[in-house]
C-alpha cells in the first residue's frame, strides 16, 4: 500500500509531465504558411523577401488560372495576397519596380527597357508607365503569382523593415524564488505552469513585455509557515496565478512579478498556512525566454524595387 505522501508525489509528477506535454505541443515550430505570423488573417501589410532566386507561376489574385513561370530574383520583395486553404500555397504580389529614365533623355516618358521589362514581368500586364500600379483602380491589370508552400519555407523570410514589434507566444513558466513581504521571507518551491508571453521590441537588442501565467506549485507546510501549528513538514499542491514584467537584452531576460498561492483548506493544517492567498514577489534572470533582438535579415532588397 502507498501512503498519502507517496500518492501525492505521484500525482504531482503526473501533473508536471502533463504540463510539459501541453507546452511542448503548443511550442512546436509550424510550417511557414500555417504559422500565426503568416496566416491570411495577420499577414496584411507585411513585406517578405526572397533569400535566393526562386520560380513563381503567373496566376490570378486567388492563385487560380495558373500560367507561365518566371524567376523571382534574390532580394525581390512582395506581399501575400492569398493562402490556399488546402495546400498552403501563397498568392503573392511584388512591390512595384521603379521606372529608370534613359540617360541624357529630357523626356520623362523614355524609360530604360530593363525597368519597363521588370514592371511588365512582375507588376502589371500593360501600361507599365502607370505609376499607380498598386491602386485598386488598376484592378485586373496587376500581376499575381503563386509560390508553393515548400519554396516559401526554404526561400523566403520576413523583410526586416516590416517585422512586427509585438509578438505573442505560449510557453512554460516557473518562479523559483519568491519574496513573501508579509514576513520578509524568501521561499523556494517547485512549480511549473503555462504562460502567455507578450513582447514589444524597442530596438535591435532591447525588448520588454508582460507574462500572464498559471502554475501548479508544491507548497511546504512546516512550523515556521504555520506559526508552530504543525511540527511535521509536509507538502501540499497549490494553484498559482501570476503576472510579471520582462526586460530583455539580446538573449538575457530579467523578470519581476507578483502572484498568489491558493491551497485547498480542507483541514486545520492547511488553514494554518500563513501565506495562503497572500501575494508574493518573484524575480529572476533567464537565458532565451525571448530573443530580444530583432531578426537579422541578411538579404538586401533588389535594386530598383
Q: Over the stretch 160-192, which tens digit does the pLDDT of each residue have?
A: 665 557 888 888 878 778 999 988 888 888 888
Sign of the torsion formed by the C-alpha atoms of 132, 134, 138 and 143: positive
Q: What is the pTM of this model?
A: 0.47
The pLDDT of residue 27 is above 60 = no
Biggest CA–CA distance in the chain, Å, is 97
Q: Among candidates 77, 189, 89, which has minimal Cα distance to 149? A: 89
The pLDDT of residue 8 is above 70 = no
Confidence of residue 215 (pLDDT cuts 50, 70, 90): very high
Give 25's strand partners. Answer: none
Cell, residue 145: 503569382
Q: Over the stretch 51-92, which tens digit does the pLDDT of each residue have?
A: 999 999 999 999 999 999 999 999 999 999 999 999 999 999
Phi, psi values for residue 79, rounded to 5°: -115, 155
Question: Contact 280/253 with Cβ under 8 angstroms?
Answer: no
As a whole number of Å, the CA-based R_g of the chain is 28
SS3 for 270?
A: helix
Helix (H) or strand (E) holding 113: helix 113-122
Q: Over the stretch 259-285, which tens digit does the pLDDT of each residue have?
A: 999 999 999 999 999 999 999 999 877
167 sits in the region (left: phi over 0; alpha: psi -120 to 50; else beta) called beta
Cell, residue 164: 512586427
Amino acid at each position: 500500500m502507498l501512503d498519502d505522501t507517496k500518492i501525492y508525489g505521484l500525482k504531482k509528477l503526473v501533473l508536471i509531465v502533463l504540463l510539459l506535454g501541453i507546452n511542448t505541443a503548443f511550442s512546436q515550430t509550424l510550417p511557414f504558411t500555417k504559422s500565426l505570423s503568416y496566416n491570411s488573417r495577420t499577414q496584411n501589410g507585411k513585406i517578405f523577401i526572397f533569400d535566393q532566386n526562386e520560380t513563381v507561376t503567373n496566376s490570378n489574385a486567388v492563385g487560380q488560372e495558373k500560367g507561365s513561370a518566371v524567376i523571382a530574383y534574390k532580394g525581390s520583395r512582395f506581399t501575400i495576397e492569398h493562402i490556399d486553404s488546402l495546400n498552403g500555397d501563397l498568392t503573392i504580389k511584388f512591390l512595384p519596380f521603379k521606372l529608370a529614365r534613359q540617360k541624357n533623355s529630357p523626356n520623362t516618358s523614355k524609360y530604360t527597357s530593363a525597368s519597363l521589362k521588370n514592371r511588365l514581368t512582375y507588376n502589371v500586364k500593360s501600361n507599365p508607365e502607370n505609376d499607380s500600379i498598386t491602386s485598386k483602380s488598376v484592378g485586373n491589370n496587376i500581376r499575381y503569382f503563386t509560390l508553393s508552400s515548400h519554396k516559401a519555407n526554404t526561400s523566403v523570410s520576413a523583410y526586416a523593415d516590416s517585422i512586427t514589434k509585438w509578438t505573442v507566444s505560449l510557453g512554460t513558466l516557473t518562479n523559483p524564488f519568491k519574496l513573501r513581504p508579509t514576513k520578509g521571507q524568501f521561499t523556494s518551491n517547485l512549480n511549473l505552469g503555462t504562460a502567455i508571453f507578450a513582447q514589444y521590441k524597442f530596438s535591435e537588442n532591447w525588448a520588454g513585455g508582460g507574462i500572464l501565467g498559471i502554475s501548479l506549485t508544491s507548497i511546504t507546510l512546516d512550523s515556521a509557515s504555520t506559526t508552530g501549528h504543525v511540527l511535521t513538514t509536509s507538502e501540499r499542491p497549490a494553484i498559482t496565478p501570476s503576472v510579471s514584467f520582462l526586460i530583455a537584452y539580446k538573449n538575457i531576460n530579467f523578470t519581476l512579478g507578483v502572484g498568489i498561492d491558493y491551497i485547498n483548506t480542507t483541514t486545520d493544517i492547511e488553514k494554518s498556512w500563513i501565506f495562503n492567498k497572500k501575494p508574493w514577489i518573484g524575480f529572476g534572470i533567464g537565458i532565451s525566454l525571448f530573443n530580444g533582438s530583432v531578426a537579422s535579415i541578411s538579404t538586401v532588397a533588389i535594386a530598383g524595387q
